[in-house]
Chain A
Amino acid sequence: MVSSFCWSCLTRLPTPRPLLSAPATIPRAASAAASFHTSTARAFPMPTKKSRSLDSGPKYRQAKSARMKKKKPTDKPRPPPIGERKALRKRIVLSNPNALEVEGMQDFDADTMVDSHLHGDVLGLPVTMLDQLRAVQAFKPKQGWSIFRRPGTVVRRETLEMGRLFDRISGDGADKGKVVKKIVTGPKGSGKTVHMLQAMAMAFTKNWVVFSVPDAQELTLAHTGYAPLSDEQPDLYVQKDSTAALLSRTAIANQAVLKDLRVSQNHPALKTPVKEGTTLEDLTKMGIRDPALAWPVFEALWTELSATSPAAGFEKSFKPRPPMLVTVDGLAHWMKNSEYLNMESKPIHAHDLVFVRHFLSLLKSGSQNPTLPNGGLLLYSTSASNKPSLPTFEVALEQLEARQAGVNPSSAEFPQPKAYSNPDPRVLEIANVSKPASAKEGPVEVQTLGGLSREEARGFLEYFARSGLLRERISDEMVSEKWTLAGNGVIGELEKLGKRLRVAAQ
Chain B
Amino acid sequence: MVFLLGVNFPERSLVKKSLESFFGIGHNTSSRLLARFYIHPTCKVGELANKQVLDITAALSDMKIENDLRRSVLDNIKRLKETGTYRGRRHALGLPVRGQRTRSQIQNAVKLNRIDRRL
Contact = CB atoms under 8 A, between A and B. Distances in A.
A222 B40 contact: yes
B110 A61 contact: yes
Contact of A225 (B40, B107, B110): B40
Contacts of B43: 225
A337 to B, nearest CB: 13
B83 interface: no
A198 to B, nearest CB: 34
Contacts of B106: 61
A218 to B, nearest CB: 12
A63 interface: yes
Contacts of B68: none
A228 B110 contact: no
Interface string A327-345: 0000000000001111111
**Chain A CB within 10 Å, residue with most, of B12, B31, B38, B41:** B38
A226 B36 contact: no
Contact of A63 (B31, B40, B47, B107): B107
Contact of A343 (B35, B40, B42): B35
A127 interface: no
B35 A225 contact: no
A426 interface: no
Interface in B4-50: 12, 31-32, 34-36, 38-43, 47
A64 to B, nearest CB: 8
Given A61-B110, A225-B43, A225-B47, A345 B38 contact: no
A224 interface: yes
B41 A222 contact: yes
Given A61-B110, A63-B107, A225-B47, A345 B41 contact: no
B38 A226 contact: yes
Nearest to B34: A341
Contacts of B39: 225
A228 B36 CA distance: 11
B31 A345 contact: yes
Contact of A341 (B31, B42, B107, B110): B31
B40 A226 contact: yes
Given A61-B110, A63-B107, A225-B47, A345 B32 contact: yes
B40 A345 contact: no
A223 interface: yes
Contacts of A237: 38
A228 B31 CA distance: 18
Interface string B34-72: 111011111100010000000000000000000000000
A227 B34 CA distance: 12
Contacts of B32: 345
A223 B42 contact: yes
Interface string A199-221: 00000000000000000000000
Contacts of B38: 225-228, 237, 343
B47 A341 contact: no
B110 A340 contact: no
Nearest to B110: A61
**Chain B CB within 10 Å, residue with most, of A226, A339, A341:** A341
A293 to B, nearest CB: 15
Contact of B36 (A61, A227, A339, A343): A343
A236 to B, nearest CB: 12
B110 A345 contact: no
A345 B31 CA distance: 8
A343 B35 CA distance: 5
Nearest to A225: B40
Contacts of A61: 106, 110
Given A61-B110, A63-B107, A225-B47, A342 B40 contact: no
Nearest to A341: B35
B111 to A, nearest CB: 11
Nearest to B107: A63
Given A223-B40, A225-B39, A226-B38, 13 more contacts: A82-B12, A222-B40, A222-B41, A225-B43, A228-B38, A237-B38, A340-B40, A341-B35, A342-B35, A343-B35, A343-B36, A345-B35, A345-B36
Interface of B: 12, 31-32, 34-36, 38-43, 47, 104, 106-107, 110
10 contacts: A64-B104, A222-B41, A223-B40, A225-B40, A225-B43, A225-B47, A341-B34, A341-B35, A342-B35, A343-B36
